[in-house]
Structure 1
């Protein structure tokens, strides 16, 4: 993390800490102690103390619990999202901000299960292979951040999620068999949600514009779409309308070539059963 990122991270954590302390001290007719907040949010006094001092990790479930306790209408959830976003490299931060408010997310991947749908075990295996010299603590932090991104799918109004996976994603065993089975089970569970579609593009599908890499299409509340592309150590956001239009056309072609939702779920189920 660069010095600039560390400063952003500390600023976001400081805001979260200040709002927590303020809400606790101004609660109803009398202030709540850290012990009482810990009990009411099913954490602990030590956790609340560390968060208020800006030195401890914020548990994933704490922001929502604080919003319920203090009736703050998502304020702590939004502050937590800022904390998460600030830990990503600058080139990813804009993507994270757009993703958190998107009304539709369309994913195309020919290499791995997209981050929004990864299990912790699958993410850990990929991150470890991508950075074999990283410490266990660093890998654990990266996994935590990736899992935190997925909270956008668990809110009251999740975005419409459309995913197309190359069949090679299912066949490529990037993790131990039990981890892959759990990942496929998670895919099937997500695909069963009414706001989600998971499709598989067969290996014999024709060539297309997006053949050289994965892409994410994020549509904002004002119905503007940007395309996020990633490659080795690089990432970018395409917002030129003409380039976005061409990429969307390619995505629709891929979707047209993909198996139906039912066939795709059957293909995922079959691949999972091979790992028993």
Structure 2
């Protein structure tokens, strides 16, 4: 697999102290070409592999890894050309994302914040390169005939303020807007769901005309694509089960709106005492509820009251 070879190339390059630009000059190819090979977005040639191996003094190890990657062992899809390329060829993309907003829907600031959190050892330049690549992937959404995209996310993803409240407001606004497109469907698995078929983690299913379906599971250290019928069937069934426990499109959009409203509605101090006392509380509204918490112990959570009852309480208090 070119994805695995790309990771191996990057490991050797970094261990030898080369930048992408330095390696590109030595081969010679462009820096963007090296970057694309390392991401698995472009294939490489035998001649280039021989040069990579020689420049990085890999003693044939890169050549052997490249040859192994072409054999497509263990059911790996021989035609899979990396996430970026395969996305562009896909007629349909199905994704289950339990921890983050799906990459195709992320805003630039949300993507940057998620990379900084998930890859603390990366340099700023590396993070910016990843953000740029992610934004370039999203170009398929604006094509004349974009792929059909069906995404399932957990409700917790909508509540987790990656990058802070302002970044998350922008992100939820974009997610809501995209979910209303005719070729995009976003379903949310509510936290109150009795069961969750996706407990083993996130995955993607790409359907490519005249090639088939490939399942792709990515972790911090590896990406595993497979077009083996048994593997694809397992993930296809899991995705179907996830859709059955998720809220329908209209209800999912409403839940996104509710979480957007919560993010937009900041906590405001409701009362305080003079003379240095610290028995202050702060409030904000959330749909049909009023949320109240102690300013000294924000991490302890909040109390929730029906909004009508809270307003009645305030009117009574002001009347005293």
Does structure 2 conserve the Cα–Cα contact (< 8 Å) formed by 1:85 and 1:93? no
1:114-129 aligned at under 5 Å gives the runs: 114-129=102-117
Secondary structure (helix, strand or coil) at the match of 2:263 reads: coil
Using the alignment, how far apart are the partners of 1:134 and 1:248 within structure 2?
A: 34
Counterpart position of 1:100? 88
2:227 corresponds in structure 1 to 239
Q: Which runs of 5+ in 2 are unaligned?
A: 1-9, 15-19, 42-68, 70-79, 265-320
| Mean CA deviation greater in 131-140 or 170-179 | 131-140
Match of 2:173 among 185, 189, 192: 185
Q: Which structure is higher in helix share?
A: 1
The Cα of 1:207 is off from its aligned counterpart by 3.5
Residues of 2 paired with 1:133 and 1:256: CA distance?
A: 39
Matched, 1:153 2:104: no
Write 1 or 2 for the structure with the bigger share of strand: 2
Within-5 A mapping of 1:1-276:
1-2=10-11, 6=20, 10=24, 54=30, 85-88=36-39, 94-222=82-210, 224-276=212-264
- Could you list the runs of 5+ residues in structure 1 that have no partner in the other structure? 16-53, 58-81
Question: By how many angstroms is 1:158 displaced?
Answer: 0.5
TM-score for both structures, normalised by structure 2: 0.59
Whole-angstrom CA distance in 2 between matches of 1:127 and 1:99: 21
1:219-238 CA-to-partner distances (Å, cap 9, x unmatched) read 00126111111223222112
CA-atom RMSD, angstroms? 2.9
Q: Distance in 1 between matches of 2:81 and 2:125?
A: 22
CA pair 121-207 structure 1, distance change in 2 beyond 3 A = same
CA distance in 2, matches of 1:247, 1:209: 10
CA contact (8 A) 1:84 1:148 kept: no
The number of residue pairs the alignment matches comes to 211
Task: Name which structure has the greater RCO, CA cutoff 8 Å, separation 6+.
Answer: 1
Structure 1 segments of 4+ aligned residues over 4 angstroms from their partners: 2-7, 89-93
Displacement, 1:98? 1.5
